[in-house]
Amino acid sequence: MFIHTSIRVSNMEHSIEFYEKFLNLKVVNRREIRQNNAEIAFLQDKQAKGAMLELTFYRNQKRFIQAEYEDRLFDHLAFQVEDMNKTLEGMRKSGVAVTDEPYRLSPNGSLIAFVEDPDGTLIELIEKG
């Protein structure tokens, strides 16, 4: 069973706010990891149906640089949204980078778009068709 995915963040508070506000996740566990001088937070959808997202903040990490898209090893996280236009409108008002405007892979398929989280992690938004 798939349990969680972990991504590094440069500011725990900003990242939690982003995922709670725009993607309807909630913090289910948050704690210090003294052995790594880190803090972690586990977030999950409010219905506790999906896998968890672990945000990891390493206090000793000084640089948070995303590689150019073609050079990245990690591609993206994907989240279902109820209303693509409303979600993107709220994100744009908050200065979230929209990297790919909404499009469909087939005429009756899901509507998808891509944005970046506060640290440049690529996020796919999916509105079911």
pLDDT higher than 90, residue 26? yes
Architecture of domain 1-59: Roll (3.10)
What pLDDT is recorded for position 48? 87
**Residue where the block lists tokens 């994100």:** 91
Domain residue extents for the chain: 1-59, 75-129
CA distance 50 to 116: 21
pLDDT tops 90 at residue 15: yes
pTM: 0.92
Alpha carbon of residue 2 to chain centroid: 17
The pLDDT tens digits of the residues spanning 70-115 come to 888 888 999 999 999 999 999 999 999 999 999 999 999 999 999 9
Q: Is the pLDDT of residue 25 over 90?
A: yes
Class of domain 75-129: alpha beta
The C-alpha atoms of residue 90 and residue 82 are separated, in whole angstroms, by 13
- Distance from C-alpha of 39 to C-alpha of 59, rounded to nearest angstrom: 8
